[in-house]
Chain A
Amino acid sequence: MNTVRTLSVHKRPWSVVRTDHIATLVAIAYLAAALGVWLGLWADNWAEITGTMWADPSAAHWLGTNRLGQDILVRAVASTATAFEVGLAVALSSSIIGGLLGAVAGHFNGSPVDELILWLKGTIDAIPFYLLVVAIAFALQGHAMAMHLAMILAFWTTTARVVRAETIRIGQSGFIEAARAGGSTASRIIFRHLLPNLVHVLLVQATLVFVAAIKAEVVLSFLGIGVQDSISWGLMLAEAGQDIMAGQYMNFLVASLCLFGLVMAASLLADRLQDRLDPRTRHQRSVDIG
């Protein structure tokens, strides 16, 4: 299968779905749960106090209740929606921003535009992640999307860096030269030729950012600056921290397992995407560097 890499890698992602069954099924299950919450089919009563304090699992509460008497299972399911909201919002936005800026920077490698974007990237990278997120959360003062915006601002740089490197590499392979010689404008080149070939990089990065965002939300909620008006696994874990001292493990276990499941599934998918989409690991001739 020594085909030369073509301009079209659009077909690849779908073949991944068929190969890694379990991870995909799991991811789909989570997505279904989240969709149900968004459509209002279930779990919109996550804040209601329907039981007694720390009740054992029963018919009424399949996984028991937390300190206030709220149903743990309902809260865990509702948290799935939050996880996807955070993960997707951050992954999509940072991919778009990072992809565009990275492609522009890479395409105009060495020019003032590139320097400017590099400067912006470096500036944001230099500020420690949690410092940045907390500071932005403060600046937006309790705004519902404060945490999301903060994470987007922090994560786009990684995507941009990878995209920029890949753009430079593609640029060195010659067909960009050809396109430019053919008279295409810069924006045409970027949108028509570069971006489609960056899709595999962006896809992998997006999945990684998705995972990172979900995990970061846990720590932020633990510190008290995470989601405000809804429920998330991070908040459940923060609650659970106190519960453990009192010998109540259910909240902790459920939140941990849910988090673990989604992160693992997404990470495995990212892995497989990377293995399958990166031409260099598909027994291809590697493009010469330098």
Chain B
Amino acid sequence: MTPRIELLRFITRKLAAALPLIFGVTLISFTLTVHFGPDPAYAMLGKNPTAADVAALQRELGQDQPFWQRYASYLHRLATLDLGHTESSGEKVRDLLGRTLPVSIRLLAPGFVLGTGLALLLAMFAAWHRGGRLDRLITGISVIGMSLSFVIIIIALQAVFGVWLGWFPVRGWEVHGPASYLAHVTIPTLAFVLASIGYNTRFFRAMLVNAMSTDHVRTARAYGASPTHIMRYHVLRGCLLPITTRIVYSVPALAISGSLLLESHFSIPGIGRVTYQAILSGDQPVLMAVVGLSAVAFALTVTVADLLCRLADPRIRLA
């Protein structure tokens, strides 16, 4: 069996293993949002409804069906990608996601890349000069960063750069090209980087310190190899695994919850705010689609992470 076929089988096995995951996620979310969740009917009624009006609307929304029937029809719709229409405006959920998801990705991608890269750099400096002044400074800044609330950061940046200095728009997402994109994404990116850099730096530093205390790194140092060389060839290789795993794992959760606050305060039409509004109003088609999407994304993530594990270290047995 050639390595390529083995790899394919591994991927297929992993994706197949993801099915129970998707099942579990959808069941839990369905139960939470549909069975226990807010009743969308009352938000949709007019000023003076009669009991008959309420009952008619509930029938229209399918609320009189038993739980398992609703869950089954939900799974069916998810499998056939018939995502339905949002309860609020009637827009096709597929169109809604197609419109808002790219926006959220474009909003978070620069922050994510920059934040991770910057954190890695800082962590490398901190780990190399472990115990020294630079390390303490960087660790101190990280802890401060971790302790600041995301909300406070957003409010402060908006006030300083949007109003006081006026260098950037206060809100909005009128993106027609690179210049307007930069104008609208810079402050949210800055907020995001500031909020996440603390955590990431500390984590990477811990991993790097671990890797650096191994024998072969100590030997390389003793032999006088340059810091860059050691970092690149010995240390990073050693902790590549946990670092990439963490980066990969943090992607799906990010895309939806990370963007909520940014989208609310900066008026960006992304998926985070849409999802949150859907939760509050009980807009089930949207919730189903988002949960289904994140389940699939997570399953893919797990597969990719395991794959990278495999590629990085063939010694690790595949379950």
Contact = CB atoms under 8 A, between A and B. Distances in A.
B21 A256 contact: no
B206 A274 contact: yes
B147 A123 contact: no
A264 B276 CA distance: 30
Interface in B298-318: 298-299, 302, 313, 315-316
B24 A119 contact: yes
Contacts of B299: 122, 126
A268 interface: yes
Interface string A198-234: 0000000000000100010011001100000000000
A123 B25 contact: yes
B162 interface: no
Interface in A153-200: none
Contacts of A48: none
Contacts of A135: 29, 32-33, 36-37, 279
B184 interface: no
Given A126-B252, A131-B275, A244-B155, A138 B147 contact: no
A134 B210 contact: no
A226 to B, nearest CB: 12
B276 A130 contact: yes
A281 interface: yes
A241 B143 contact: no
Interface stretch (B53-61, B87-95, B224-232, B254-262): B254-262
Chain B interface size, under 10 / 10 to 19 / 20 to 34 / 35 or more = 35 or more
B279 A126 contact: no
Interface residues of A, number: 44
A219 B279 contact: no
B134 interface: no
B151 A237 contact: yes
A126 B23 CA distance: 11
Given A237-B152, A259-B149, A267-B147, A139 B295 contact: no
Contact of B260 (A130, A139, A256, A267): A130
B103 interface: no
Interface string A271-290: 10010000011010010001
B149 A138 contact: no
A2 interface: no
Interface string B274-287: 01100110000000
A37 B253 CA distance: 36
Contacts of A219: 149-151, 261
Contact of A128 (B24, B35, B256): B256
B157 interface: no
A211 B146 contact: yes
Nearest to A267: B143
Interface in A224-266: 237, 241, 244, 256, 259-260, 263-264
Contact of B25 (A127, A259, A271): A127
Nearest to B202: A271
Nearest to B205: A271
B44 interface: no
A136 interface: yes
B214 interface: yes
B279 A134 contact: yes
7 contacts: A123-B28, A125-B253, A126-B295, A130-B260, A138-B279, A271-B202, A290-B315
Interface of A: 110, 119-120, 122-132, 134-136, 138-141, 211, 215, 218-219, 222-223, 237, 241, 244, 256, 259-260, 263-264, 267-268, 271, 274, 280-281, 283, 286, 290
Given A123-B28, A219-B151, 4 more contacts: A125-B249, A131-B291, A223-B276, A264-B147
Ranked nearest first, the 9 interchain pairs of A and B with the lowest CB-CB distance are: A139-B36, A126-B298, A123-B24, A135-B32, A263-B147, A128-B256, A130-B257, A128-B257, A264-B147
